[in-house]
Amino acid sequence: MRAAQENVESGSTWGGRHAVVVGGSLAGLLAAHVLAAHVDRVTVVERDRFSEAPEPRPGVPQSRHIHVLLEGGQTALETLLPGFLHELEEAGAPRVGIPSDMVQWQNGRWFRRLPASAYYHTGSRSQLEHLVRRRVLANPLINVLEGTDAVGLLGDASRVRGVLLRERADAARAESRPVEADLVVDASGRSTKAPQWLTALGAQAPHEETIDTGLAYATRVYRDKDDILGTDALGYYIVPNPSQTYGAVVLPLGDGTHLVTLSGLRGDEPPTDEEQFAAYAKKLPHPLVFRWLSTAEPLSPVFGFRRTANVRRRYDLPGRRPAGFLAVGDALCTFNPIYGQGMTVAAMNAVALRDALADPRRTPTTRRVQRALLSSSRQAWDISAGADKRMPGATGNAVAVRAADRAAHWYLSRVQDRYAGDPVVGAAFRSVLSLSAPLTAVFAPSVARAVLFGPPVPTPADPPMTREEPRGSAT
């Protein structure tokens, strides 16, 4: 049912008949899916041309690197596209139980491989996006302009009324053309030009909060020739922290191969040279990953990625900004990719957009909807920004630790000391990290007792290559 709502800020119907979404990646596709229930037509503007197969594309340079769909994202996608998780599993995307299926090291401890309390979908970003695109673009109300750049906005400081588009095929000579719209959604990602576009209209660009650790990573595909990954483990995870800044992730893609990502901070970035890539793993606090890389078969070049800063654009704050414009996904809030939150937050943004537009109690003004979108990404920001501001050499205007943060950091430090071995603390903390439960989950009475009064539970001295049997099981 159409629900065009009167925008009380401008006196016009921004929910009206035509919406334009700039960017055809995950955040843009899901936003288009939601908007199609409220307008006559949706146009998705995408700079790339989509392939018929699930392949990486230039507009998503990070697509060659490790991606996970956290439980919060699984719930959101299933809500938006019922049956999607079954499609994902049918396509072969592995479902990895945490902590049972991973050999994990963090804060000087190996994690007990207890029965899983959380599950992540691994597999390629391209595969997941391809499945979403197939579902979303089956809607006849949604049209895609491929090979097209958005180069500006139409309207003025009070209201956005469309976009300026230009064909990429001959960008040097092509003239921009206007496309009118009642609503423009920026889903163009971390390289968004929307702040400049708004300034050109006489509006104010959003305040940007930034935290940059200088983290860089490099990724390569391998095949496990000798089945030495572990007797029953699906992957490895070496988590960096302020005192140990190197990281590694080895995760299955579902086709018999593994994606391997190595990470380090500025000044000691992992190499993209194929000969040096595996040698960089010697810097990790344990030789486990290096030994595996030394025998596994490399199947791809090494791809590097350097743009890992956390950036939050505060469109929700007061300022001279036009009605009829929203930002979602990485164009709104970009996270350090090491935390694996991007795809999940894109899906949670879409749920927040759906709920804000459908709320019968409140008129969905631009500012109100934008606040709902930002709110849906707040927990992910608190996790990634809270951890990154304590990394050595972190820069940016949001790195300062506030007095109010210190008590929370003290408590969360005790949580982290215990979640490697304590099943109660571990399950609660993983639910928070997977964005399936609020941060208050780690303050539940049973968790708080263990955190405040219980000692850390002993953890394995060596990499745990087999799962722990559930208590009470036969040995």
How many domains is the chain partitioned into structurally?
3
Average pLDDT along the chain: 91
- Give residue 437's pLDDT: 97
Residues 6+ apart with CB under 8 A from 365: 7, 8, 9, 323
Final residue before a domain boundary, out of 355, 384, 413? 384
DSSP 19: E
Q: Which residue has the higher pLDDT, 404 or 274?
A: 274
State the residue range of the domain holding 407: 403-453
Secondary structure element (H or E) that encloses residue 177, with its range? strand 177-180
Residue 273 inside a domain? The answer is yes
Final residue before a domain boundary, out of 305, 321, 356? 305
Residues 6+ apart with CB under 8 A from 359: none
Residues 25, 188: contact at Cβ < 8 Å?
no
Task: Indicate whether 12 pLDDT > 50.
Answer: no
For residues 184 and 319, what is the distance between their CA atoms, to the nearest angstrom? 18
- Give residue 227's pLDDT: 66
Q: Are residues 277 and 313 in the same domain?
A: no
For residues 117 and 398, what is the distance between their CA atoms, to the nearest angstrom? 33
Instruction: Give the largest CA-CA distance in the chain.
Output: 73
Task: Indicate whether 4 pLDDT > 50.
Answer: no
Residue 396 inside a domain? The answer is no
257 three-class SS: strand
Final residue before a domain boundary, out of 352, 384, 416? 384
For residues 184 and 366, what is the distance between their CA atoms, to the nearest angstrom? 11
Question: Tens digit of pLDDT for each residue in 64-84?
Answer: 888 999 999 999 999 999 999
Residues 6+ apart with CB under 8 A from 36: 42, 139, 141, 142
